[in-house]
Chains A and B, each alone.
Chain A
Amino acid sequence: MNPFSALTPIVLLGLTPLVLMLVISFHRSHRLAVVISLVGMALPLALLAGTATSAAPPLAPLLIIDGYALFYIGLLSTATMVVVVLSYGFLERVPGNREEFYLLLTLATFGCAVLTASNHFISFFLGLEILSVSLYGLVAYLRTTRTALESGIKYLILAAASAAFLLFGMALIYADLGTMDFTAMTSVLAAKTREPSVLLLGGFGMVIIGAGFKLAVVPFHMWAPDVYQGAPTPVTAYLTTVSKGAMVALLLRYGQYGGLLDYDSVASVLAVIAVLSMFLGNLLALLQDNLKRLLAYSSIAHLGYLLVAVIAASREGSHAVTFYLVAYFITSLGIFGIITALSDERKEADEISDYRGLFWRRPWVSGALSLMLFSLAGIPLTAGFVGKFYVLTAGVLSDLWALVILLVVSSVIGLYYYLRIIITMYLSAPEDPSSPLSATRRFSLPEGLVLAGLTVLLIWFGIYPAPLLSAIQAAVGSLA
């Protein structure tokens, strides 16, 4: 088999922005741009079914298209499709050109796909930069608003700085191991003694900074609340799911091959990061009155939970990470989707007070939102519960007792602020109708379908996760 045919999913993802660009330059149409993006994301998905079974030829060592990469590419492009659908309704309400938005969005997903399949520092760096640079544009897309520009600047400066650190880390690891190829690292590391060199450790540290920034874990999390709040809501949804998911995928692969998790000192640094993220994220979320900001903090905490499973590093750990991520994707996309869909021209539905009495006006929407919040809180019968359970199991299996207990303790705090939102929805509507958000905007059919689909998935994976679990086991099994 021609090794390049394995690349087809990535090539298709790369072609999508090109086609978009051509079309935009001849004929501007918002609808058309959306359709092209959707098709561009759906095509690789359709192909995945065919290629998933074929063997994974390493492509002259930059990229590996194995079952693992394909699974993540499928996940990320599906999530991108959801974001595209949400963006349509959102962009219809703002002035200015809309088509470039999809250009940047599809490019970012292309970068993510490169990250998930990357097997080399160079492709790691490239994928990351393609993703980051697209995100700068996306975050600052609403140029007329001050907050968007501000978020854009903050994100850009921090991301660029972390990239400089990442490069430094790569150079150190290269200086120590003499290779930038993940697969080759495995053999070099196997030949070395267990005592880590300071170069390798320093390199790992810098790679953790680079990755930690994208994942927004403490202490590299500070951009998250400002950027989440300032960015357009679909972009926030993208930041919290696709961008983080791609980084997690890479981290898992690098962890398996590059020896990241083989050293106790690295594991303890990660453990400290995980604990700080869980606690700071949950604590800071307590006070927020802005839903997007609150979700930023809660996502910091969730990435902390996820890191526990990453540290577990066992096979169970990788499965747990992937399952948790899928559950987290469904939930986050659902919540940000509802925020987007409820917003109208006058007001974004991002204050918790906007949700007062929502139940009495939109029972189905608030029911779905409650389910999503329950899932974030890890209440049974939702995908979030199974995910959290799986992460805890992975922690227990790897004897990470302390982390498991701390995870449980910090989730207790989480319970409080998720419930606060739910309570607000079931209050009676404010007598004073001056609330700028009427929440009367009817959902468009695609929005409604997507949100209903996410809710169904949330419950389905919460009640009967077996099919998803076996799919994950098959995919992640191809790693290592």
Chain B
Amino acid sequence: MIYAVLSGFVLALLAPALYRLSARWSGVVFSVFPAILALYFLSHMEAVVGGEAVRVAWPWMPAMGLELSFNLDGLGLLFALAITVVGTLIITYAGSYLHGHPSLPRFYLFILMFMASMLGVVLSDNLIALFIFWELTSVTSYFLIGFEHDKDTARAAALQALLVTGTGGLALMAGVLLMGQIGGSFEISALAADNAALQGHRLYPLVLALVLAGAFTKSAQVPFHFWLPSAMEAPTPVSAYLHSATMVKAGVYLLARLSPVLGGSDIWLYVVTGFGAATMLASAYQALYQTDLKKILAYSTVSVLGTLTMLIGLGDKLAIKAAMVFLMAHVLYKAALFLVAGSIDHETGTRDIRNLGGLRKTMPIICAGAAVGALSMAGLPPFFGFVGKEALYEAVTHGNLPVTVIAVLTSMLLFAVAWLAGIRPFSGAETHTPKHAHDPPWTMWLGPVFLGCLSVLFGFMPVLPEKLLSAAASSVLAKEVHMHLALWHGFNALLVLSLVTFALGVLVYWQLETIKRVTAFALPAVHRGPSHWYALWLRFLNWSAVGQTRVLQNGYLRLYLATIMTVTAVLAWYTFLTYGDVTVVAMDWGDIGVHEWVVGLVALVGAIATVRAQTFLRAVMALGVVGYSVALIFVLYGAPDLAMTQFLIETLSLILFVFVFYYMPPFKRFSRRVVIVRHAVIGTAVGAFFTLLVLVATSVQWHPTISTYFSENSYLMGQGRNIVNVILVDFRGFDTLGEITVLAVAGIGVYSLIRLRLGKGRGS
């Protein structure tokens, strides 16, 4: 099974080469691969519906306790089949749809990679692996949405999609890590077996919020739903695959997969159901206002995703069963309708429903496919969509009233939407379209027709997919369930509800313009709202970045220094006032001899004179005074070697200063008074802190230190009496080597700067 998942990545890398061999029939050639995979997964059907899960594991990063483990159970199989079967049809379709497109090889590369990642998501048992595949679907979908890279809108849509799903992905990553840490394992099966520890933990709400953020962004739940309609900029095969059958369902998949782990709590029930219900109604409503065929389908997809989320949130046996049936019905009709929309666009040159009509005459085969899809979507018998809708009603009527009302309203709206998208372009009088319409080649009608046939077949004989759906529901509920699906349940309350829905739906379609006009007031709230926030958020980021650049990063070195020093001073004073003990500071002025006073005061005066000096020479001279006073202090306190070095170095650097800067003009007065005061305050704060710390350091009890080692061993081991010298030469020859190195480096640096003039001189 590992090969089944990973072979897609290998094939993806070979895609450009393979494309060259098969240019004309590339779509058909590439579709063989998902077809084989579909057969492979079908071959496991027997075992899986029998309740056996196929599990394989392979150590990946053992150091991090991570293994690549795949688990093929009912839920996984349902999704894997959807991915591979629809994938086969889409790739066949795309070969013709994008025929002659210069970037077609790239399309195959990314779509195969996407398919493999998607299989990884639905089959991984390890949360980390799941997350990795999850992110890969985001990245590959980014390239697929932005396929028409020269269109600004396509790029913006791709970026928006990736930003929204990527944000959710990062949240999911944090959630997964927390889950693994709390639950003690990254294996979903292990976590599900012991979910009490997780749900009882105080961080459970945080974990849930993070995971839901990931799932909701991926599955386009309100308020993150705006990216999905924008993503319709993608080529139609991509929309059909990513935005109906697979990627957007990943969020729903995650919720279903984790519901044994995280589900069952009150907060899960209210949050998941609430978001799902809001999404299903709001998007179905928005779909009414669209005129672009693909956008209509996109909003209706969001609505269905909301329905599925709502059902998983409810989480009881009926709801989960309904979710599985509804999901399968949706895959069958929505992929077909997207492909139909693509064919219409391809053959007529427009997707605007206001310009389309009467296509039944010119595109009869496509028309048949579209009709089946639309009727199934509308929930009419004898199509599988009807079975799905009945299951939905059965679940919500066992739930509560608000949800039932929302479900009926949504179905009513979707009925009208289905008519708009699948029936209207084919009915009525023929219209003038940019291209003269006719039926596309067989590769492009195969998909809708095949899926339509399945819709009809499963509608008449719902017993066919029954076992698979039962197995899928069993893995979501973590206990064995059996369902019995039938087209005809007898004349009961559910049927009445359906009939009411149809009646209302017809009414909505008939009075569409009136309804749109009357309810238009609500549109800005649901439509403009979230994408407006997205834009605002981007603007806010930009604005704060601009502000910071101006304030903090303005290129003035002294401002950089001032910031660093201010931070230092504030932190230092804070620490001192919190932890410091000022009482230990002993200001003992009595022990200072006259000569010490003199040296100290000279150093002070020198420092102040350096700061106040008006010309360069005076400043350097004052600096020299400071340097020599420091050397004198070294002499007074038992460090003759230091003093000697200090004298020498001070003299050298004075000479160098004068050499280099002799011709500099007098200092100009650059800064304003207020700046000078500000800097003086910062300097004083730093200096005063240092004074205090030195006082503390010298006041605390001095303890004998490691360096007595040197006093004791200097003569014995080093044969020298000047301990500093012995340290430097014998014990620490390395220091001296280091000093010499630093000086040498400085020398090289100086040389490399100075030689420029020579170089210039030679050059000119």
Contacts and interface: CB of A to CB of B under 8 A. Distances in A.
Contact, chains A and B (beta carbon distance below 8 A): yes
A380 B132 CA distance: 5
Interface in A413-469: 413, 415-416, 419, 423, 426-428, 464-466, 469
A374 interface: yes
Interface string A335-370: 000000000000000000000000000000000000
B572 A202 contact: yes
Contacts of B571: 205, 269
Nearest to B576: A198
Contact of A60 (B170, B579, B580, B731): B731
Interface string B166-208: 1100110110011001000000000000000000000100100
Interface in B544-582: 544-546, 548-549, 552-553, 555, 557, 560-561, 563-564, 567-568, 571-572, 575-576, 578-581
Contacts of A413: 541
A175 B584 CA distance: 14
B159 interface: yes
Contacts of A219: 563-564, 567
A112 to B, nearest CB: 13
A415 B560 contact: no
A164 to B, nearest CB: 10
Interface in B108-134: 128, 131-133
B146 interface: yes
A100 B575 contact: no
11 contacts: A107-B745, A114-B738, A130-B738, A137-B748, A179-B705, A287-B545, A287-B546, A380-B131, A385-B135, A386-B61, A396-B178
B700 A284 contact: no
Of all A-B residue pairs in the complex, the 8 with the closest CB atoms, nearest first, are: A137-B749, A126-B738, A178-B705, A222-B560, A175-B697, A380-B132, A469-B63, A198-B580
Given A158-B560, A223-B560, 8 more contacts: A130-B742, A130-B745, A378-B170, A386-B61, A396-B178, A401-B203, A415-B166, A419-B162
Nearest to A464: B60
B163 interface: yes
A71 interface: no
A380 B136 contact: yes
Contacts of A393: 64, 177
Interface stretch (B258-266, B444-452, B752-760): B752-760
Dominant secondary structure at the B interface: helix
A161 B700 CA distance: 28
Interface stretch (A31-39, A81-89, A236-244, A404-412): A404-412
Given A179-B706, A205-B571, A226-B555, A143 B753 contact: yes
B591 interface: no
B763 to A, nearest CB: 8
Interface string A164-189: 01001001100110110100100000
Q: Report, as a range, how many residues of chain A touch the other chain.
A: 35 or more
B564 A220 contact: yes
Contact of B64 (A114, A143, A184, A390): A390
B684 interface: no
A103 B696 CA distance: 44
Interface string A217-238: 0011011011000000000000
A408 B136 contact: no
Given A287-B546, A389-B128, A202 B742 contact: no
B165 to A, nearest CB: 10
Given A178-B705, A222-B553, A284-B549, A473 B745 contact: no
B398 interface: no
Q: Report, as a range, how many residues of chain B touch the other chain.
A: 35 or more
A464 B751 CA distance: 47
Given A199-B696, A219-B563, A408-B173, A104 B162 contact: no
Interface in B43-76: 59-64
Contacts of A287: 542, 545-546, 549
B561 A202 contact: no
Contacts of A381: 132, 136
Interface string A92-128: 0001110011011001001100100000001100110
A305 interface: no
Contacts of A97: 752, 755, 759
Interface string B677-695: 0000000000000100100
Contacts of B568: 165, 205, 209
A381 B557 CA distance: 41
A333 interface: no
Contact of B548 (A62, A172, A198, A283): A283
A165 B146 CA distance: 51
A110 B174 contact: no
A168 B748 contact: no
A374 B140 CA distance: 12
A104 B749 contact: yes
Given A137-B748, A408-B173, A198 B706 contact: no
A269 B752 CA distance: 40
Contact of A392 (B150, B162, B177): B177
Dominant secondary structure at the A interface: helix
A198 B748 contact: no
A335 B560 CA distance: 27
B673 interface: no
A465 B167 CA distance: 25
A272 to B, nearest CB: 9
B735 interface: yes
Given A133-B745, A419-B162, A140 B753 contact: yes
Contacts of B581: 198
A254 interface: no
Contacts of B557: 153-154, 157-158
A107 B738 CA distance: 11
B541 A143 contact: no
B734 interface: yes
In this complex, the member of A110, A168, A415 whose beta carbon has the largest number of chain B beta carbons within 10 angstroms is A415
Contacts of A133: 742, 745-746, 749
A123 B136 CA distance: 46
In this complex, the member of B158, B553, B731, B735 whose beta carbon has the largest number of chain A beta carbons within 10 angstroms is B553
B576 A202 contact: yes
A170 to B, nearest CB: 12
Contacts of B738: 114, 123, 126-127, 129-130
A100 B752 contact: yes
Contacts of A385: 132, 135
A52 interface: no
Given A265-B579, A385-B132, A415-B167, A199 B697 contact: yes
B163 A416 contact: yes
A126 B737 CA distance: 10
Contacts of A386: 61
Nearest to B544: A283
A141 interface: yes
B146 A286 contact: no
A324 interface: no
Nearest to A60: B731
Contacts of A202: 572, 575-576, 693
Interface in A1-46: 14
A408 B170 contact: yes
B588 interface: no
B317 interface: no
Nearest to A378: B170
Contacts of B741: 14, 107, 110-111, 130
A443 to B, nearest CB: 22
Interface string B600-623: 000000000000000000000000
A54 interface: no
B86 to A, nearest CB: 24
Nearest to A374: B139
Contacts of A137: 745, 748-749, 752-753
B739 interface: yes
A380 B135 contact: yes
Contact of B735 (A111, A126, A226): A126
